[in-house]
Amino acid sequence: MSDTPRRKVTQQDAEAAVRTLIEWAGDDPEREGLLDTPGRVARAYKELFSGYDADPREYMARTFDEVGGYDELVVLRDIRVVSFCEHHMLPFLGRAHVGYLPNNRVVGISKLARVVHGFARRLQIQEKLTAEIAEAIQEILQPKGVGVVIESEHSCMTMRGVNTPGSRLTTSRLTGVVRDDPRTRQEFLEFVRDGRS
Ligand SMILES: [Zn+2]
């Protein structure tokens, strides 16, 4: 982020930019079928990049301290990932598996999914997305360890360029005992693997 304050981009500015891209693609933004497209694209962008509107850490503000002595891994598998690669602004789609070993503090499971969505709905690279999710959980819940694995297909690779449909990128970030304790690490990775079929 730059320090110089910039004029806030309006919906009209965004629509004008989309009209330019339509022309750049070789079409006529004034033809009937495309007249409402800039408005739709600008609104879709607002939704797809809504991650900039909030700090996903805040989704975990409410935690539960009474865990009834639960001291095993909590793993949420197959969280849908919809994000955009920051190099091409093309989507990468996949799923995230998120786990942590609680330290007397847990969070509602839907909140884990919201943290993933909050960081995904920005311009991203998958490696950074994976690390940001793990670090946010580590920072807020202060568990004994965190594991995040993301598998996704990058359309900048599968629909252009080297054109390799079906290839998926897997990234992981493990912290604390999930990284350092062989038993916990293996247990987490087995949870993740069991989700694949
Ligand atoms: Zn890309």
Mean pLDDT score, 13-38: 97
pLDDT single digits (tens) 137-165: 999 999 999 999 999 999 988 887 776 77
- Given the residues 58, 88, 135, 153, the one annotated as active site: 88
Average pLDDT over residues 114-140: 96
Return the C-alpha torsion angle 108, 110, 113, 117, nearest 10.
-110
Q: Is the dihedral of CA 34, 38, 43, 45 positive or negative?
A: positive
Q: Look up 97 and say whether it is catalytic.
A: no
Annotated catalytic residue within 86, 127, 139, 190: 86
Asked if pLDDT for residue 171 goes beyond 90, the answer is yes
Q: For residue 11, which of 48, 35, 39 has the smallest C-alpha distance?
A: 39
CB 175 within 8 A of CB 131: no
Mean pLDDT, residues 55-68 taken together: 82
Residue 154 annotated in active site: yes
* pTM recorded for the entire structure: 0.89
Can you tell me whether residue 92 is helix, strand or coil? strand
Q: How confident is the model at residue 75 (pLDDT cuts 50, 70, 90)?
A: very high
Q: How far is the CA of 182 from the centre of ligand 1 (A)?
A: 34
pLDDT tens, position by position, 29-46 = 999 999 999 999 999 999
